[in-house]
């Protein structure tokens, strides 16, 4: 968007070309945003193996955050492994835990854990600035055996449910550009998911016949569901 505006500010172009260029840039932004939302809601994030002791943290973060924020959170969870807790102090209503980095003992951070609302506050201020828990808070949660992210550490703007527009079947009559973008994203996802199926199904006669029959059954099912929805809208 910025590049499109800069292009027309630095040169004398007709207003119709400016409007056309801005419209195209907006459509690209909408398409990209629809793809990101679809990936966050309808695909599975990559999780560590079951042997990883902090795998529940990854799973919980994947269920809450958008995919872009999830990968940022993953970096913080990975870094918590090098954090060492020392000198925990109990002040009644809150705990004060001091952290340093393994082999870098001179670098210290302190995290306050408030028992009443399960809220954490860290000296590094990553949560206050970027809106997701830092490596020190993750290390503190592990130290206290807290398995799920406390609600006080979840900002709605980074969650999958932040937007009112969701990638669900619309009950409104007519088609919109957003619906078309969603359909394109779903179509691409289905094509990608069935590529591997087609490869293996084509190698054996029995598999080929079975998959052909299943595809015909699923096609009939989806067509009937679409026809029923269309009739209800009318």
Residues 113 and 195 in one domain: no
Please indicate, yes or no, if residue 169 is contained in any of the structural domains: no
Residues 63 and 138 in one domain: yes
On average, the pLDDT of the chain sits at 80
pLDDT tier, 73 (very low <50, low <70, confident <90, very high otherwise): very high
pLDDT of residue 115: 87
Residues 26 and 97 in one domain: no
Per-residue pLDDT at 82 exceeds 50: yes
CA quadruple 117, 123, 125, 127: dihedral positive or negative?
Answer: negative
Please indicate, yes or no, if residue 140 is contained in any of the structural domains: yes
Q: What are phi and psi of 146, to 5 degrees?
A: -90, 120
Angstrom distance (rounded) from CA 226 to CA 220? 10
Please indicate, yes or no, if residue 8 is contained in any of the structural domains: no
Of 129, 135, 127, 130, nearest to 153 by C-alpha is 127
Instruction: Note whether 37 and 163 are within 8 A (CB).
Output: yes
Mean per-residue pLDDT for 25-42? 76
Last residue of a domain, one of 158, 175, 194: 158
pLDDT digits (tens, 9 = 90+) for 207-231: 999 999 999 999 999 888 888 887 7
Pairing mode, if any, of strands 104-114 and 119-122? antiparallel
Q: Is the pTM of this model over 0.75?
A: no
Please indicate, yes or no, if residue 23 is contained in any of the structural domains: yes
Per-residue pLDDT at 194 exceeds 70: yes
Please indicate, yes or no, if residue 1 is contained in any of the structural domains: no
Instruction: Note whether 155 and 26 are within 8 A (CB).
Output: no
pLDDT digits (tens, 9 = 90+) for 95-143: 998 877 766 656 678 899 998 888 999 988 999 999 999 999 999 999 9
Angstrom distance (rounded) from CA 137 to CA 95? 12
Residues 58 and 152 in one domain: yes
Please indicate, yes or no, if residue 217 is contained in any of the structural domains: yes
Please indicate, yes or no, if residue 230 is contained in any of the structural domains: no
Residues 71 and 135 in one domain: yes
Residues 35 and 77 in one domain: no
pLDDT of residue 170: 43
Please indicate, yes or no, if residue 177 is contained in any of the structural domains: no
Angle at 185 between CA 229 and CA 159, to 5 degrees: 95
> Domain range holding 200?
184-224
Residues 145 and 214 in one domain: no
Residues 121 and 188 in one domain: no
pLDDT digits (tens, 9 = 90+) for 133-185: 999 999 999 999 999 999 999 998 888 877 644 444 444 444 555 666 677 76
Alpha carbon dihedral 144, 149, 154, 156, in 10-degree steps, equals: -170
What is the number of domains present in the chain? 3
Q: What are phi and psi of 57, to 5 degrees?
A: -65, -45
Angstrom distance (rounded) from CA 174 to CA 164? 19
Residues 38 and 60 in one domain: no
Angstrom distance (rounded) from CA 4 to CA 149? 41
């Amino acid at each position: 968007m910025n590049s499109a505006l800069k292009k027309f500010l630095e040169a004398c172009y007709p207003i119709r070309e400016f409007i056309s260029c801005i419209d195209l840039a907006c459509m690209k932004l909408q398409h990209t945003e629809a793809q990101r939302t679809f990936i966050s809601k309808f695909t599975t994030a990559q999780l560590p193996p079951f042997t990883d002791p902090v795998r529940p943290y990854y799973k919980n973060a994947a269920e809450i955050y958008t995919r872009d924020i999830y990968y940022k959170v993953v970096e913080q969870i990975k870094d918590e492994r090098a954090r060492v807790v020392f000198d925990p102090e109990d002040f009644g209503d809150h705990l004060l835990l001091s952290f340093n980095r393994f082999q870098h003992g001179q670098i210290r951070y302190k995290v306050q854990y408030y028992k009443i609302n399960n809220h954490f506050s860290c000296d590094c201020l990553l949560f206050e600035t970027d809106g997701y828990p830092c490596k020190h808070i993750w290390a503190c949660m592990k130290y206290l055996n807290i398995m799920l992210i406390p609600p006080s550490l979840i900002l709605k703007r980074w969650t999958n449910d932040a937007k009112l527009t969701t990638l669900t079947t619309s009950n409104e009559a007519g088609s919109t550009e957003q619906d078309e973008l969603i359909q394109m994203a779903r179509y691409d996802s289905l094509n990608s998911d069935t590529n591997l199926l087609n490869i293996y199904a084509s190698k054996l006669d029995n598999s080929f016949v079975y998959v052909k029959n299943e595809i015909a059954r699923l096609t009939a099912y989806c067509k009937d569901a679409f026809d029923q929805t269309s009739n209800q809208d009318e």
